[in-house]
Structure 1
């Protein structure tokens, strides 16, 4: 099954592709956007849901989303048109790490996409090149809440704990001004939605050639979540000032 299609189906009921509630998404945007006519960049935007919500909340705001997936960008264009914000959204298909730095954005987002730059430290350095003097950034990244199992480390790699994550932020020259650590409820809701949406699609489309693979992917993901990383995985979003 095409990986991009699988992800789109799994996020049907949770278009913010991170374990964050709708209320917290809006609070984070409000703390990250300095004024109503800001210009915002999202590096690794996927379906651009963060930008679309920001554009809907701030009628004078303009936004640019960057992603390598044409599949995700096509979904973003359709969603932006449906919600009446397409005229203020520019989408670019290219690597986030190769997007030209011009220090012309009031706010830069990178949520769940630090892998595009090779990790958090390199992401933090890259964001500085895009933000105006005095601008802001909103990053979202994973960390270990408790000692992970070997299987969890194999799935997610060598993550920091939360204090170490903030140490990296400060060492990169950023000042944290606000943040949100996903609650157990948010984390569980995201995983239930991911596995459940994919499973429901498969059960509703028994003749689709991807049906069996979708069911298997949902079952594997659910098993890894419940057995390997549910009690150790954490996710934090942090608002930063340059």
Structure 2
């Protein structure tokens, strides 16, 4: 059980596997008013940067779950580097089936709502691991502007207009699920650039070093295609944010 190799190549230089900069990740931790001893469960934790830095900066404890052995190895190195390995644990497994042994104060899924087949399903998964009165953190894409047609929709890696909500649509969805939206931190164009454009450098660096690898033709095509799709469609049309929710 692991992620395809292409994912780890594409994300090789990233510590944060979503379009949050380190500054925005720090803003999120401050915005939700973390304090020492708060427990956090992070489903699809990637390289564990959120748990690692929040343990260092706010004294939280946490458990991260991910399917990628490569990402988890990087996560364990990171908590050791920051001196918080005694406060953060990582579990290799399917985040869609994980339930915390002890309900946490904060349950998060930042940018991987596919595990619940969408936003609403992911909220349901997170509810299994959060204590009554606790907080959910959901990272999700949304339409910043109305896509002009199917080409633009597919250029944003969506199949249909309905794959994403608008920002007000997400707020209405959370309300319909019985949650108050109590905080949010949104990606901007610069943080999107740092996430997406860095992937192009990662891919090109890997191609230069592995021209005869079986993945080379796929990555060569990707590097010719993705910068144009991003600059033509994604950068203008697609938003992303982390939304802090509390049950009414």
Which category of TM-score, normalised to the shorter sequence, fits these structures? 0.7 to 0.9
Which residue of the other structure, out of 225, 231, 238, is the alignment partner of 2:236?
231
Does the alignment pair 1:40 with 2:45?
no
Does the alignment pair 1:194 with 2:199?
yes
Deviation string 1:102-154 (CA, Å, 9 cap, x unpaired) is 56201111111110011101111222222112211221100111122413433
Structure 1 gaps of 5+ residues are: none
SS for the counterpart of 2:9 is: helix
- Using the TM superposition, name which of 88-97 and 109-118 deviates more: 88-97
SS for the counterpart of 1:230 is: helix
In 1, are the aligned partners of 2:139 and 2:243 still within 8 Å (CA)? yes
Which residue of the other structure, out of 151, 155, 158, is the alignment partner of 1:156?
158
- Using the TM superposition, name which of 192-201 and 163-172 deviates more: 192-201
Distance 1:6 1:79, change over 3 A: farther
Distance 1:5 1:54, change over 3 A: farther
Does the alignment pair 1:53 with 2:53?
yes
Normalised to the residue count of structure 2, the TM-score between the two structures is 0.86
Distance 1:3 1:134, change over 3 A: closer
- Using the TM superposition, name which of 21-30 and 66-75 deviates more: 66-75
Distance 1:28 1:146, change over 3 A: same
Computed over aligned residues only, the root mean square deviation of the Cα atoms, in angstroms, reads 2.3
1:200, CA displacement in angstroms? Answer: 2.8
Structure 1 residues 8-157: aligned runs within 5 Å = 8-32=8-32, 34-58=34-58, 60-100=59-99, 104-148=103-147, 149-154=149-154, 155-157=157-159
In 1, are the aligned partners of 2:9 and 2:203 still within 8 Å (CA)? yes
- Give me the whole-angstrom Cα distance separating, in 2, the residues matched to 1:101 and 1:91: 12
SS for the counterpart of 1:16 is: coil
In 2, are the aligned partners of 1:202 and 1:212 still within 8 Å (CA)? no
- Using the TM superposition, name which of 164-173 and 13-22 deviates more: 13-22
Normalised to the residue count of structure 1, the TM-score between the two structures is 0.88
- Give me the whole-angstrom Cα distance separating, in 2, the residues matched to 1:81 and 1:237: 26
Distance 1:88 1:152, change over 3 A: farther
Counting matched residue pairs gives 239
1:166, CA displacement in angstroms? Answer: 0.9
Distance 1:152 1:14, change over 3 A: farther
- Give me the whole-angstrom Cα distance separating, in 2, the residues matched to 1:199 and 1:92: 31
1:206, CA displacement in angstroms? Answer: 4.8
